[in-house]
């Protein structure tokens, strides 16, 4: 009887073990696949119109020849202005266009032999393309396009003086970084180099007449704030 009971008990244990193994195998086959790990995506979207203001410094570079004397009329001043533009974002890449207009007044007077020359820069504006890479709320970008600025040159021989003013077109290239503080407000830091080529003048109103030749460029370093609509 004892042997019969032992065999029955062992049989029950074996049956339960086999049933458990079969159920575990079935559960393993029916287990849902693990959720795939997705790469992080940008939460903030830079697409849309924006407008704002900027403040910084302007550094005029003027390599000048007045009469037969060469020299430089480099100067700097505070610079401020406004900007507006549009961005389009695809993936992490951001493309757009921006226009700005500002005012600084760098001016410099120098002695060139028997003559005194003064150069000044006034209104300044650009129309540029922008292309950048967004890391969520931070955008790093390069920019380039058209630059337009007003320049004036005054030459004096100690007896009389004559002034010439002109608006010159050139190019602007630069880079910057912009960070969205909120969904609508962002702050940026930006550097631009502007090249305006060489201009020549003949101050025939002086006796004797004085010819000038100037190679003009400037650097703009500024910070700004934008409101995104």
Q: Which residue has the higher pLDDT, 24 or 128?
A: 128
Helix (H) or strand (E) holding 52, with range, is: strand 48-66
- Cα 61 to Cα 73: distance, rounded to the nearest angstrom: 7
In a domain, 32, yes or no: yes
In a domain, 43, yes or no: no
Q: In terms of domains, do 106 and 177 share one?
A: yes
The reply to whether 67 and 15 lie within a common domain is no
> d(Cα 90, Cα 68) in Å, to the nearest integer?
56
Same domain, 79 and 133: yes
The arithmetic mean of pLDDT across residues 83-103, rounded, is 97
Structural domains counted in the chain: 2
Note whether 187 and 134 are same-domain residues.
yes
Instruction: Say whether pLDDT at 5 is over 70.
Output: no
CA distance 168 to 148: 6
174-194 confidence digits (pLDDT tens): 999 999 999 999 999 999 999
Give how far Cα 174 sits from Cα of 63, 102, 135, 184, 207, Å: 22, 16, 20, 24, 43
User: pTM for this one?
Assistant: 0.79
* 141 assigned to some structural domain: yes
Backbone angles phi, psi at 64, to 5 degrees: -115, 145
State what percent of residues in the chain have pLDDT above 90: 80
Q: Say yes or no: 114 and 201 in one domain.
A: yes
89 CB contacts (<8 Å, ≥6 apart)?
Answer: 42, 45, 46, 47, 95, 134
**Residue 170 and residue 90 share a domain:** yes
Say if residue 75 is in the same domain as residue 29: no
Query: What Å distances lie between residue 53 and 39, 56, 63, 131, CA to CA?
Result: 36, 11, 31, 20
- Count of CA atoms in the C-beta half-sphere (13 A) of 190: 34
User: Same domain for 68 and 102?
Assistant: yes
For 67, the 3-state DSSP assignment is: coil
Whether the CB-CB separation of 111 and 70 falls below 8 Å is answered with no
pLDDT value at 89 more than 80? yes
Whether 41 maps to a domain, the answer reads: no
Q: Is the pLDDT of residue 81 over 90?
A: yes
Per-residue pLDDT of 44-73, as tens digits, reads: 999 999 999 999 999 999 999 999 999 999
| Structural domain of 16 | 1-36
Beta-bridge partner residues of 39 = none
Residues 10 and 58 in one domain: no
Q: How far apart are CA 94 and CA 151, in angstroms?
A: 34
Instruction: Give the domain CATH number at 103.
Output: 2.40.160.20
In this structure, the answer to whether residues 10 and 70 fall within a common structural domain is no
pLDDT at site 43: 82
Determine, yes or no, domain membership for 71: yes
């Amino acid at each position: 009887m004892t042997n019969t009971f032992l065999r029955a008990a062992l049989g029950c244990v074996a049956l339960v073990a086999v049933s458990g193994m079969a159920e575990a195998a079935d559960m393993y086959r029916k287990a849902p696949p693990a959720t795939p790990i997705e790469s992080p995506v940008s939460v903030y979207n830079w697409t849309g119109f924006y407008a704002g203001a900027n403040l910084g410094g302007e550094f005029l570079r003027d390599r000048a020849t007045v009469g037969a004397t060469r020299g430089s009329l480099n100067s700097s001043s505070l610079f401020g202005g406004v900007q507006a533009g549009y961005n389009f974002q695809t993936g992490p890449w951001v493309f757009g266009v921006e226009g700005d207009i500002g005012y600084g007044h760098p001016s410099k007077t120098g002695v060139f032999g028997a003559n005194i020359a003064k150069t000044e820069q006034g209104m300044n504006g650009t129309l540029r393309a922008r292309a950048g890479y967004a890391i969520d709320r931070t955008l790093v970008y390069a920019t380039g396009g058209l630059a337009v600025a007003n320049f004036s040159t005054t030459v004096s021989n100690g007896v009389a003086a004559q002034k010439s003013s002109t608006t010159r077109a050139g190019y602007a290239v630069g880079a910057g970084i912009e960070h969205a503080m909120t969904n609508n407000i962002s702050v940026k830091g930006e550097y631009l180099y502007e090249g305006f080529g060489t201009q020549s003048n003949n101050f025939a109103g002086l006796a004797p007449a004085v010819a000038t030749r100037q190679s003009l460029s400037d650097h703009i370093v500024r910070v700004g704030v934008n409101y995104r609509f």
